[in-house]
Structure 1
């Protein structure tokens, strides 16, 4: 096991990529904090599968600073420290410049940018040297053909990638390593929602492997970035997309 007894806090961990990360990191010996916003049953079921000695579920709105502080404190109260944060919770509103409301903008930046920013701020005092901050970006930021409706989402994830670059320089002084993962199309419930089969097949064909990514593909990369094997990978956005964006 590469992560024995490491304490890993994952936002939005009750489903999709966050859940896959929790399961993969648990397999490597980590102790897991499963953050969720609404789905208590899924979060508690995940914790039950891990065991109460190695996992805890914490309800918190990952866009709200007071909730973030409570989430961090619950982690420290349970496990005494934080070795890795995975800022996975996110919102993808399909909006172009003409369709975006002020409320859309605020909600998207609050969850996708403000939340990860202040999660790092609140967690850092409890993170020993050798700890990791892992942000989640998107392959949309690297695709040469992007629908205008991805504008708002891409803007938030562009901010994440710049945070990764600059925060990595600052936190290196504390021995904390910062990176990001940018998934391509990934077979989650969120991805499939509203997409007809023909569109899904077209997106599969974008990859030379003719398939979508699986949440486990992303989780394997997060596992690498949370381990000591990635100690010289700093300030990078790692694209995980099966060759769609190269």
Structure 2
């Protein structure tokens, strides 16, 4: 990589929500960004258009994060386009609510596929490709610590993300690559608002001492920190970004 070449970031789930804001922040920090997405071609294209119009570099690549062949192709395309990979932000995930007694097991299987297998597959490729001085950032959830009723399947999947994060940080000993996770609390995204009434949203917004929902910008700034030079001594950690909910 020459002095003039930008650092390169892969962001899964980069077409919408927190992932989309992470794409914006990393591009603003000077990264060439690869927007990984599953289905939302139009939003991924808009994300790329926004970055390119701002004078930065970006492409969108479609990949199911649980499909190892597709994810390997995503990383290969990144290296062909930009010469390497410095940062991987794995923001792609899904959620499902339901009590242990009542949850449809097909929902559990899909959570396992996307949140656990998807994290493992993306981290496997990241471990093989990220250059020295790079960073891998996964997404957990503050619900892992809060253990709310009706969220057992989702929380279990995100607890697995935390385990993968810590173990990979140890397995990359000597590589000069950090591995951390961000665990947001309630954050104002389309996914968060989906299916919630105004009373539920108000109750969740009142829980943090800061008396508001998080924003995608709040979380993206933390990711940018973990991906940047100021966080080189932060490794194998889960940063609970939730405004103070305990």
TM-score, scaled relative to structure 2:
0.93
Unaligned segments of structure 2, at least 5 residues: none
Give the alignment partner of residue 111 of structure 1, picking from 114, 117, 133. 114
Partner of 2:8: 7
Give the secondary structure class of the aligned counterpart of 1:172.
Answer: coil
Give the secondary structure class of the aligned counterpart of 2:240.
Answer: strand
Please list every run of at least 4 consecutive aligned residues from structure 1 whose deviation after the TM superposition is greater than 4 angstroms.
none
Paired residues for 1:44-55 under 5 Å: 44-51=45-52, 54-55=57-58
Measured after TM superposition, the shift of residue 29 of structure 1 is 0.6
Paired residues for 1:80-159 under 5 Å: 80-143=83-146, 146-147=148-149, 149-159=150-160
Q: Deviations over 1:176-195 (max 9, x none)?
A: 11000000000000111111
Q: Deviations over 1:84-130 (max 9, x none)?
A: 11111001011332233443222111111111212121233322111
Partner of 1:164: 165
Give the root-mean-square deviation of aligned CA atoms.
1.5
Give the secondary structure class of the aligned counterpart of 2:181.
Answer: strand
Measured after TM superposition, the shift of residue 33 of structure 1 is 0.5
Give the secondary structure class of the aligned counterpart of 1:174.
Answer: coil
2:126–2:136 Cα contact (<8 Å) kept: no
Paired residues for 1:1-246 under 5 Å: 5-51=6-52, 54-143=57-146, 146-147=148-149, 149-245=150-246
Measured after TM superposition, the shift of residue 212 of structure 1 is 0.1
Measured in 1, the distance between the counterparts of 2:78 and 2:171 equals 24
Measured in 1, the distance between the counterparts of 2:69 and 2:108 equals 21
2:65–2:121 Cα contact (<8 Å) kept: no
Q: Deviations over 1:38-83 (max 9, x none)?
A: 1111111110111186100011111211111111111111111110
Unaligned segments of structure 1, at least 5 residues: none
Give the secondary structure class of the aligned counterpart of 1:13.
Answer: coil
Give the secondary structure class of the aligned counterpart of 1:9.
Answer: strand
Count of matched residue pairs: 240
Measured after TM superposition, the shift of residue 173 of structure 1 is 2.2
Measured in 1, the distance between the counterparts of 2:237 and 2:206 equals 27
Give the secondary structure class of the aligned counterpart of 1:202.
Answer: helix
TM-score, scaled relative to structure 1:
0.93
Measured in 1, the distance between the counterparts of 2:121 and 2:134 equals 17
